[in-house]
Amino acid sequence: MTVKVSMNVNGKAVSAEVEERTLLVTYIRENLRLTGTHVGCDTAQCGACTVHMNGRAIKSCNIVAMQSEGADILTIEGVAKPDGTLNVMQEAFREHHALQCGFCTPGMVLSAMDLLKNYPDPTEREIREQLDGNLCRCTGYHNIVKAIKAAAATMRG
């Protein structure tokens, strides 16, 4: 059985007929071709599929597309400005070499952006605790923490 789903993705209204069981991550990757949202585990453990839904980080493999009916979704493709200028968090990841293979990076960046809303001046421990749902198989955690602290400092001015 199919259902019509409509939402805003990266500021653009989109809608499609999908099977009821279609995961949000599948809809994003296969219908919208926004392949920066990755699938690492499909069981809500790795965080590679993280996107923002109505401003909060969620794991898009953990909900079906129709649960985001009418929602505002932000994927990694919508984080930089339209002219390509990187967001503060993306720039900090680049500056501090916070990625190796890059597979976890979109989810890390989106989770880190959400983290700073609640922890504008996070300690290393808070960063590590808040990001425990995002796994980096390259074990690049040290530089990821550094990047998030740097982005927080930039945002605090």
The residues binding ligand FES (CB under 6 A) are 39-42, 44-49, 59, 61, 99-105, 136-138, 140
Residue 135 or 152: the one with the smaller Cβ distance to ligand FES is 135
Residue type for 77, please?
E
Residue type for 59, please?
K
Residue 82 or 151: the one with the smaller Cβ distance to ligand FES is 151
As measured in angstroms, the least distance from the Cβ of 64 to ligand FES is 13
As measured in angstroms, the least distance from the Cβ of 83 to ligand FES is 26
**Residue 144 CA neighbour count, 13 Å, CB half:** 30
User: How is 69-128 classified by DSSP, letter by letter?
Assistant: TT-EEE-GGGTS-TT-PPPHHHHHHHHTT--SS-SSHHHHHHHHHHHHHH-SS--HHHHH
As measured in angstroms, the least distance from the Cβ of 104 to ligand FES is 3
As measured in angstroms, the least distance from the Cβ of 41 to ligand FES is 4
Vertex 75 angle, CA 126 and 92, to 5°? 50
